[in-house]
Amino acid sequence: MTRIALIAHDDEKPEMLDFAAAHESYLSTIDIVTTGTTGERIRDEVGLDVDRKASGPMGGDLQIGGMVAEGALDAIVFLRDPLTAQPHEPDISALLRICDVHDVPLATTRTAAEYVLAGVAAEDDVTLDA
C-alpha cells in the first residue's frame, strides 16, 4: 500500500488543507501519516483518515524520519515555513537529511507537492485531476 507523510508548519496549514482537499479522492485510497496538529486538521476539516504522530516540536518529525529509515514511506509533503525560526530546527534538518539518504521524494512547496503526488499516483496507475 502506498504511504505518504503530510506535514505543515502553522503558516502553511491552510495550503496543506487546500492541497489535501484538492486530492481527497486519491488520498483516501492510500495510507497517510502526519505530525500531530497537521493531522488533526486534515482529519477534522478534510475528513481523511490519518495516522497521527506527535506534534512536530514534540518529536513528530523524528518519528516520521524513523519511518523513512525503515523504508516505510513512499514520499513526504512537508510544507515548511521558510520565514519563521522553529524551536525544533534540528529535528526538521534530520528529517530532510534522512529523505536524502534514502532517496525518498520530499516536496517542501505546493508546486513541488503537486509534482510529487502526481508521481506517486502514477505508480498506482492513477492520474490526478488537474
State the binding site: 9, 13, 35-38, 55-56, 88
Q: How far is the CB of 46 from ligand 13P (least distance, A)?
A: 14
81 phi/psi in degrees, rounded to 5: -90, 110
Known active-site residue 124: no
Binding site residues for substrate, as ranges?
Answer: 9, 13, 35-38, 55-56, 88
Nearer to ligand 13P, 26 or 78 (CB): 78
User: Which ranges in the chain belong to alpha helices (H)?
Assistant: 13-22, 24-27, 36-46, 60-69, 89-102, 110-123
3-state helix, strand, coil in the chain (%, to 5): 55, 15, 30
Closest C-alpha among 67, 54, 68, 59 to residue 91 = 59
Contacts with ligand 13P by CB under 6 A lie at: 7, 9, 35-38, 55-57, 60-61, 92
Of 61, 103, 125, 129, the active-site residue reads 61
Cell of 39: 493531522
Q: How far is the CB of 76 from ligand 13P (least distance, A)?
A: 11
Nearer to ligand 13P, 7 or 116 (CB): 7
Contact 38, 18 (CB under 8 A): no
Residue 58 DSSP class? G
Nearer to ligand 13P, 25 or 93 (CB): 93
Q: How far is the CB of 62 from ligand 13P (least distance, A)?
A: 10
Active site residues: 61
